[in-house]
Amino acid sequence: MFLKHFRTSLILVIALTILTGVVYPVAVTGVSAFLFPSKSRGSLIIEKGQILGSELIGQQFSDPKYFWSRLSATTPYPYNSAASTGSNYGPLNPALFDAAKKRIQDLKSADPQNSQPIPVDLVTASGSGLDPHISIGAALYQIPRVAKARNVKDEQIRLLVDQFTEGRQWGFLGEPRVNVLKLNLALDGHTTFSEE
């Protein structure tokens, strides 16, 4: 009796392991690669065969001629996709205050004439620590610094910001936002990149 139940259980475990551990993942991967080829490969941005980044993962920019991304809380280096996490600092944690204060100083040092209020997403990390987007307000705040560093008029940079502003997801979820990597690539003249 015991051997009969044991054999049945063993066959069931093996069958379910093959079904859920092999057949299902292969089927889902195949369907996603067929229906969503770019997204299934990580939404990579490629130019002339060279990977420039992913439109889904933020990158660190600190040069004044670029738009800066949100802060990243990942370790051991910023925007580490293998360590996606928020800082988990509560609003009263001194480390959160110190990180925000340092970022405010960095922003003011890079653009001392800018007297606009600094948008909160420029001084805080996102929940994943990898957010590739900033708010429209954060992009507008940085236009004078980027324009000055590139020796062009604010209006030229504003046109690029408008061009790379993405609307709400499906027309009603979230807020309009700007993809920092795509915008910075366009600033550098990368106009032929594709998403693969």
The residue among 43 and 161 whose pLDDT is bigger is 161
Which tens digits make up the pLDDT trace of 82-100? 777 776 777 888 888 888 8
Domain edges within the chain: 1-35, 43-195
pTM for the model: 0.77
What is the model's pLDDT at position 17? Answer: 96
C-alpha of 98 from chain center: 23
Instruction: Give the HSE-up count for residue 96: Cα atoms under 13 Å, Cβ half-sphere.
Output: 12
What is the model's pLDDT at position 135? Answer: 94
DSSP annotation of 173 reads B
What is the model's pLDDT at position 128? Answer: 78
Which tens digits make up the pLDDT trace of 109-139? 999 999 999 999 998 887 777 889 999 999 9
Q: How confident is the model at residue 65 (pLDDT cuts 50, 70, 90)?
A: very high
- The CA distances from residue 156 to 58, 148, 178, in Å, are 24, 11, 16
Separation of alpha carbons 38 and 114, rounded Å: 39
